[in-house]
Amino acid sequence: MNATEQAAKILCAGGLVIIPTETVYGLAANALDESAVAKIFEAKGRPEQNPLIVHVYDHEHAQNLVSAWPEIAQRLAEAFWPGPLTMILPKAPNVPDLTTAGLPTVALRAPRHPVARDVLRLSGLALAAPSANRYTRLSPTRFQDLDPELLARVDLALDGGDCEIGIESTVVDLCHGPPKVLRPGLITQSQIEEATQGIANQNLEMETRSPGTVKRHYSPGYKIKLVDRASTAHPALVLIPTNSPDHVLMPSDEHDYAAMLYKVLARFERQGIELLEIERPPDNWSAVLDRLRRASA
């Protein structure tokens, strides 16, 4: 039995497994097993009023978990799945209230990381899988950055290498008129609008709340301060720890910056720094700015 087969077996038995995705590592359990989902909240120290993202293999799998699958959801799934887009839709009765924090909606995503997809295929399950961190702490994007305290609470952790994207998925609400981004990611509002051009959304008017939108989140164990850039002509952004000789020149491309960000923050955490000054990225980098604002809150 290989590691992904072992992971699938553990998940089917109600256990916890850390899996890699293309965004960040996730703490996975059977989304339809309330006792398994409860283990996620306990392991993370996460409040139960914070809904979880449910990972599915494809759009056909997703339709088993919702009470409505509008054409606009199909169009977005065809454009961006598997990939870093989470859609909020009205949930089906088989989805436990604990998974959705008592909301009538469920957040769904089909990851594209091959290990995550193998686990989903082999288990046949929908997997609740928030980031594999203690609540509000930094999301891990490398196996070696996983929190030892969390590792001690799971049945298995799969090493899938470095996460390609490096920040969490875009979350889009499909329950209140036109699609609206609730949590920015590298799939932008304009890309979503382009993919759904001419498609009318049914106005479901259901209460929604997005995962990953608490004020302080994605935070390392030291203070972060955003500062104005020294020069708009600078080829890269700079991260400067105050009590270390080390510093990092960050990429000037938003996607490359995002892929590197959590790795660098985790590296400084291991060094035991007290404060990290980060040059403020361009205003149109909405996903990166969102993570930095929450990390520095």
pLDDT digits (tens, 9 = 90+) for 61-80: 999 999 999 999 999 999 99
Q: Is the pLDDT of residue 216 over 80?
A: no
Helix boundaries (H) for the chain = 3-12, 34-44, 59-62, 71-80, 114-123, 148-151, 189-195, 254-271, 286-295
Query: What would the pLDDT profile of 12-35 be if each residue is shown by its tens digit?
Result: 999 999 999 999 999 999 999 999
Residue 235 reports pLDDT greater than 70:
no
pLDDT digits (tens, 9 = 90+) for 141-182: 999 999 999 999 999 999 999 999 999 999 999 998 789 999
CB burial readout 10-33, b (16+ within 10 A) else e: bbeebbbbbbbbbbbbbbbbbbbb
d(CA 80, CA 110): 9
Is the model more confident about 213 or about 166?
A: 166
Q: Distance between CA 199 and CA 281 in Å, rounded?
A: 34
pLDDT reported for residue 234? 47
> What is the percent of the chain with per-residue pLDDT over 70, rounded to a whole number?
90
**Residue 237: pLDDT over 70:** no
Amino acid 176: pLDDT: 83
- Token pair, residue 223, equals 């203070």
| Interval 250-272 mean pLDDT | 92
The mean per-residue pLDDT over the stretch 97-116 comes to: 97
Each residue of 190-211: pLDDT tens digit?
Answer: 999 999 987 766 666 666 677 7
Under the phi-then-psi rule, with left for phi > 0, alpha for psi from -120 to 50, and beta for the rest, what region is 90?
Answer: beta
